[in-house]
Amino acid sequence: MGTLYITQDDAFIGKTDERLTVRANKQTLQDIPLIKLDGVVILGRATVSPAVVIELLERKIPLSFLTSMGRYLGRLEPELTKNIFVRAAQWKAVAPSEQASHLVRGFVRGKLKNYRNALMRGQREGSDLDFQKALTQLEQVIAPIETTTEIDSLRGLEGAGSAAYFGCFDRLIRADGFRFEARRRRPPTDPVNALLSLGYSLLRHDVQSAINLVGFDPYLGYLHTQRYGRPSLALDLMEEFRPLIVDAVVLSGLNRRTIVPADFTTEPLSGAVSLTPEGLRTFLRLYEQKKQAKFKHPVLQTQCTYQESFEIQARLLAKYLMQETDKYPPLVLK
């Protein structure tokens, strides 16, 4: 099954034998074998029984908490893996170091090339679309990545490339009733930003689970600066996946009219926009389907799901830090 998403407010999550059960209003909403679960995400309010907490920890199944609007709150974390050698290599490479610069170049290059490929694909599919200006801007910021050693300069290239991409994002949306002017996060004040923010929160849960499984310290990253409580490495590894998974799910859901304007609600005081319960279930289904979709991994040359690719990329990252390979290859797909 993969990840279980619980969206019913005041649900009770319990355990019966080897199964996890979700109940609300004296009804059983979910009854799932624990062996099929890779993770659990609660959106909104729910009660988790002590037996479930113990079982999830023992099985190393992460449990993340998000608000009903998709803002990440925190997670119940199983014990870190015992592979101290991966974490030692991770800390040894802390900036300034050539390894840190190499990894940041990889994260930025992967993200921006996937942005470029998304725009090229959108231009092919829409005969009336012309993204040549943005594509030229992206090529101009991608070109110097390999010769740039300063991490702050690489962050500047990443910012310039992201601005070029999101400057075109509105034209990728072909559904009536939806507009995108700029990236707005706290809170999202339009439906498109609400979907992006929710999707990125879900992606963080999945990527952080993968790097924990491999044995990393999620709080020590290279592209994202160190900050108390920030899982910088998870945010680093997320970058190449943002356009591949979340942006693709958002655009597909809107353009295929699977998600419609009636699926959103606006909070009167703050203006924050969020999905209705039905819209949330639809988006979670689309996100889970995307994670289970298969593709040919360009490095391994084997079929894998996007869910599996989180761990694959984390292991490729570990191999580079452990000096078993001479480079980290970001996931870039056409």
The identity of residue 170, as a single letter, is D
Domain residue ranges of the chain, discontinuous segments joined by +? 2-76, 84-321
**Which ranges in the chain belong to alpha helices (H)?**
50-58, 84-92, 98-125, 132-142, 151-166, 169-172, 191-214, 232-238, 248-255, 277-292, 306-321
* Domain covering 2-76 in this structure, CATH number: 3.100.10.20
Output the CA angle 288-46-58, nearest 5 degrees: 70
Mapping DSSP to helix (H, G, I), strand (E, B) and coil, where does residue 157 land?
helix
3-state secondary structure of 295: strand
Distance of CA 310 to the CA centre of its chain: 9
130 Cβ contact list (under 8 Å, min separation 6) = 123
* Per-residue pLDDT, 28: 86
| Dist. CA 181–CA 201, nearest whole Å | 21
Nearest to 197 by CA among 258, 242, 161, 159: 242
Q: What is the C-alpha R_g of the chain? A: 20
For residue 3, give the 3-state DSSP assignment.
strand
Residue 65 CB contacts under 8 Å (≥ 6 apart), including other chains: 42, 72, 73, 74, 75
pTM listed for this prediction: 0.82
pLDDT, tens digit only, all 334 positions of the chain: 578 888 888 889 998 888 888 988 888 888 888 888 888 888 888 889 998 888 888 888 888 888 776 677 777 777 666 778 899 999 998 878 999 999 999 999 999 999 999 999 888 876 677 888 989 999 999 999 999 999 999 999 999 999 999 988 988 998 888 888 888 877 888 899 999 999 998 999 889 888 988 889 889 999 998 888 788 999 999 999 999 999 999 999 999 999 999 999 888 877 788 888 889 889 989 998 999 899 999 988 899 999 899 999 999 999 999 999 999 999 999 8
- Write the CB contacts of 171 (distance below 8 Å, at least 6 apart in sequence): 122, 126, 129, 131
User: What is the C-alpha to C-alpha distance for residues 177 and 262, in angstroms, rounded to an integer?
Assistant: 10
Task: Decide if domain 84-321 falls under CATH 3.30.450.20.
Answer: no
Contact 3, 39 (CB under 8 A): yes
